[in-house]
Structure 1
Amino acid sequence: MSPEGKTSKPVRRKAAGFGDNSSGEGYLDGRLLIAMPVMGDPRFERSVIYMCAHSSEGAMGIIVNRPAGSIDFPGLLVQLDIIEKADQITLPENAETMQVLKGGPVDTGRGFVLHSSDFFIKDATLNIDEGICLTATVDILKAIAKGTGPKHAILALGYAGWAPGQLENEIQHNGWLHCDADPDLIFGDDVDDKYQRALRKIGIDLGMLSNEAGHA
């Protein structure tokens, strides 16, 4: 696993060559990583991670099934001075109910919004896969608060990062399975069920999964 703080910045697709390599064989952009039950790192135990970038330069993803505890989106908007406390009651419904997740152990003080592709900010939004984008600027939070943001979105605090070749090595050593992503697994509010649902997506029953099972 990537140690907390090891990667100070998220991997940027253009700078790291992801624009050329994202569709290359073996790369997992736009797919879900699923932690094997034998995952020894508590930061990633039973985690489902949406892969935002993956190439020979490394990898970056967002955990989509770990709530951020007592932090809620309206309260976060107040903390960031995007809205006044009194304005919380007038927020649009999707802002009131928007999930705040622990996206990973790196850069935990920074927010990353995974969202549907109906919202885009030039030079700020990364189009990851068909229908899924990533934006990490405060402008998207302001748009969501005003009701002009994406239809579907989750806010993640922090991200998961891997050095070149590290993720591939972990997969080879049965640390991870992977499967196709779908919007319901990414944006669904049934956070506690996402792990088992992701396993079922590739035909695996958690109760029958052997510790020696190979990767998908």
Structure 2
Amino acid sequence: MDSKLNSSSFASLKGHLLISMPQMDDSRFQKSVIFIGAHDSRGAMGLTINKPLQTIAFADVLEQVGVMSERPLDPYIKSMGVRTGGPVEESHGFLLHSADFRQKDTILIDDFFGISGTVDALRTMVSGYRPERMIFTLGYAGWSAGQLEQEMQDNIWLSVPASPELVFNTDPENMWENAFAILGISPGLLSASAGRA
């Protein structure tokens, strides 16, 4: 595949979910669902949203970065977990959230989703203004120019437009299978030589 993509042939997956195929051989991405937050001819960036970290809670992250408030934490924030966003910059936090939350650093993806990634956004949340729905990840997944397109051609990933229902209201352990179900596909019936429509 020619990695020099022009605007007439380039189809961005921004705002889509990548679903790893069952034969994924990279253990970091097996049974992964990744929200694509940026994708252009220079590369792509996404957040794995279905891999909970068992070792740390969101409240612990807030304490570690020094943004705890004198007032009690909102019960929603207090109950939040942390997910492994990907293998790049694993100590950097990203907040994938509903589009109702907007800060200086917020990147609005579409009418439903935004991504914020600064301590200031966390401070704002702790002070009482928070998104209706959100997922906090540590790290992200990244692709160089043309890499994601090649992986799509190689049947490593499928994609589906992201929906708030799937992203925010689905248990992480069910998300991979539910994403396939949206496509009307059973993961057990797929093979490495799956055709492309």
Alignment TM-score, normalising by the size of structure 1: 0.83
Q: CA deviation at 1:106?
A: 0.3
**Aligned to 2:129, which of 140, 148, 151?**
148
- What residue identity is the alignment partner of 2:145? P
2:33 maps to 48
Q: Which moved more, 1:185-194 or 1:160-169?
A: 185-194
Moved over 4 A (4+): none
- Within-5 A mapping of 1:106-121: 106-121=88-103
- Conserved 8 A contact 1:35-1:48: yes
- Conserved 8 A contact 1:73-1:98: yes
CA distance in 2, matches of 1:211, 1:59: 23
2:43 maps to 58
Q: CA deviation at 1:197?
A: 0.2
Higher strand share: 2
2:141 maps to 160
Q: Which moved more, 1:145-154 or 1:194-203?
A: 145-154
1:29 maps to 14
Alignment TM-score, normalising by the size of structure 2: 0.90
- Conserved 8 A contact 2:155-2:194: yes
Q: CA deviation at 1:191?
A: 0.6
- What residue identity is the alignment partner of 1:43? R
CA distance in 1, matches of 2:162, 2:131: 19
- Within-5 A mapping of 1:126-205: 126-188=107-169, 190-205=171-186
CA distance in 1, matches of 2:47, 2:124: 21
CA distance in 2, matches of 1:145, 1:187: 20
Aligned CA RMSD, in angstroms, stands at: 1.9
- Conserved 8 A contact 1:39-1:175: yes
Percent sequence identity over matched residues? Answer: 43
Please list every run of 5 or more consecutive structure 2 residues that lacks an aligned counterpart in the other structure: 1-6
Query: What is the DSSP-based 3-state SS (H/G/I as helix, E as strand, rest coil) of the residue aligned with 1:143?
Result: helix
Q: Give the 3 Å change call, closer, same or farther, for CA 189–100 of structure 1 in structure 2.
A: farther
- Within-5 A mapping of 1:54-93: 54-83=39-68, 90-93=72-75
CA distance in 1, matches of 2:14, 2:196: 17
CA distance in 2, matches of 1:25, 1:170: 15
Q: How many residues align?
A: 191
Please list every run of 5 or more consecutive structure 1 residues that lacks an aligned counterpart in the other structure: 1-20
- Conserved 8 A contact 1:92-1:146: no
- What residue identity is the alignment partner of 2:164? P
